[in-house]
């Protein structure tokens, strides 16, 4: 007999127990990553992200877990629902709190349901969805949202009655390139020249690739300064990740971190811009970018080209450079379909929301096809 409850503190679960549930090596469901966000006050506290993980038990044994958060706003999610929230407000209907099965500030597709290998996923999802539906019916939640689940889980959630949303992101795929020039050779002439020009514009700086083990306390302080400066200029705040969380990531996730940094040629110890990335077995994930001064070409160099080179040299299959950005398409990142799955408390808006999702799906399928046609790769000779 399976039972479900909420957990508000990951310290209630040992790291060894966690590893029996999440075994893929995906960095953002790592016990250390989520703990760094919680213990560093990037979530909980007054962030509007309250840890509320969904645990499934069989007797006294934890057999499944969904990392999740109770939300009182919609910031930091990236598969945004602002239009829906506004419609609720216009009808004076409560929209928050909502519960999201998501990774804070991390719009990356990956595991959302961790399970023991001997556990029946269908049985787990059935009891989980029944529990969440009860929470909606009792008015404890106003919506349930699974953001960026893997395709198989999204399909299973739809079978449980949730409504699907689509999103399009951009993913670089390694086609067994031998080096960066081999990658460039697969692009059309105009794009090759554009990338060469952009890379040449960064030659006045010292560019370095640093692993987590190579990063010193001074490096981390400078990375944080760059990150905060960029967010302050762009959004008027210092970013979602606190310095304390960054410091915890430095201590607990060094083996899964790589940084592409630009150093001032006149002050060789001074980082002027950096892209902080995470690693899985086959994928590089670009996550946090920051710069002390605006330099568009340097952004492309550190956030895209350095990562592509890194993947080629180390034989990684994919480079997920982050959400949004058609500029990735022009640089060889292919469009890929991503998913969300939703359930709402019954309101007069329910039918309209379902219709909106279906219309959005059609639009994004057309957009995906158009984006695929716009990729800069040369046509294969048959």
Q: Phi and psi for 76 in degrees, rounded to 5?
A: 75, 15
210 pLDDT above the threshold of 70: yes
pLDDT tens-digit profile of 47-81? 999 999 999 999 999 999 999 999 999 999 999 99
> Which tokens hold the place of 244?
């304390």
DSSP secondary structure of 98-125:
EEEES-TT----B-S-EE-TTS-HHHHH
Q: Phi and psi for 323 in degrees, rounded to 5?
A: -80, 160
Task: Give the Cβ contact number of residue 356 at 10 Å.
Answer: 16
Give me the count of residues in the chain: 382
380 pLDDT above the threshold of 70: no
- Rounded to an integer, the average pLDDT of 185-196 is 95
pLDDT tens-digit profile of 247-264? 999 999 999 999 999 999
pLDDT at 245: 98
pLDDT at 353: 98
Paired sense of beta strands 257-263 and 206-211, if any? antiparallel
pLDDT at 181: 96
0.85 exceeded by pTM: yes
Q: Phi and psi for 49 in degrees, rounded to 5?
A: -115, 105
107 pLDDT above the threshold of 90: yes
Q: Phi and psi for 278 in degrees, rounded to 5?
A: -125, 155
> Which tokens hold the place of 33?
């990553």
324 pLDDT above the threshold of 80: no
Using DSSP, state whether 253 is helix, strand or coil.
coil
């Amino acid at each position: 007999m399976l039972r479900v409850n909420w957990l508000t503190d990951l310290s209630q679960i040992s790291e060894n127990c966690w590893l029996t549930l999440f075994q893929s090596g995906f960095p953002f469901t790592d016990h250390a990553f989520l703990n760094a966000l919680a213990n560093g006050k990037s979530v909980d506290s007054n962030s509007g992200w309250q840890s509320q993980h969904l645990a499934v038990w069989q007797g006294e044994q934890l057999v499944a877990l969904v990392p999740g958060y109770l939300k009182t706003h919609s910031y930091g999610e990236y598969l945004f629902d602002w239009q829906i929230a506004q419609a609720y407000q216009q009808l004076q209907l409560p929209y928050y709190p909502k519960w999201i099965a998501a990774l804070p500030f991390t719009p990356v597709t990956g595991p959302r349901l961790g399970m023991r290998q001997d556990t029946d996923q269908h049985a787990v999802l059935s009891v989980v969805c029944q529990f969440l539906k009860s929470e909606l019916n009792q008015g404890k939640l106003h919506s349930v949202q699974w953001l960026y689940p893997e395709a198989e889980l999204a399909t299973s959630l739809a079978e449980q009655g949730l409504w699907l949303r689509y999103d399009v992101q951009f993913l670089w795929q390694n086609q067994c390139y031998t080096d960066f020039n081999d990658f460039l050779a697969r692009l059309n002439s105009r794009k090759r020249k554009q990338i060469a020009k952009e890379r040449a514009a960064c030659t006045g700086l010292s560019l370095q690739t640093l692993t987590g083990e190579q990063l010193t306390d001074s490096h981390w302080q400078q990375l944080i300064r760059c990150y905060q400066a960029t967010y302050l200029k762009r959004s008027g705040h210092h970013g979602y990740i606190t310095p304390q969380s960054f410091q915890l990531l430095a201590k607990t996730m060094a083996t899964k971190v790589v940084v592409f940094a630009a150093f001032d040629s006149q002050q060789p110890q001074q980082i002027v811009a950096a892209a902080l990335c995470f690693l899985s077995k086959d994928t590089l994930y670009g996550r946090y970018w920051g710069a002390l001064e605006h330099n568009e070409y340097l952004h492309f160099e550190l956030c895209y080209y350095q990562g592509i080179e890194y993947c080629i040299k180390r034989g990684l299959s994919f480079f997920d450079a982050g959400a949004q950005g058609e500029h990735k398409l022009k640089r060889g990142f292919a469009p890929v379909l991503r998913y969300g799955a939703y359930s709402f408390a019954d309101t007069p808006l329910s039918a309209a929301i379902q219709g909106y999702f279906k219309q959005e799906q059609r639009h994004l399928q057309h957009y995906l096809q158009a984006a695929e046609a716009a990729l800069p790769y040369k046509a294969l000779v048959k």
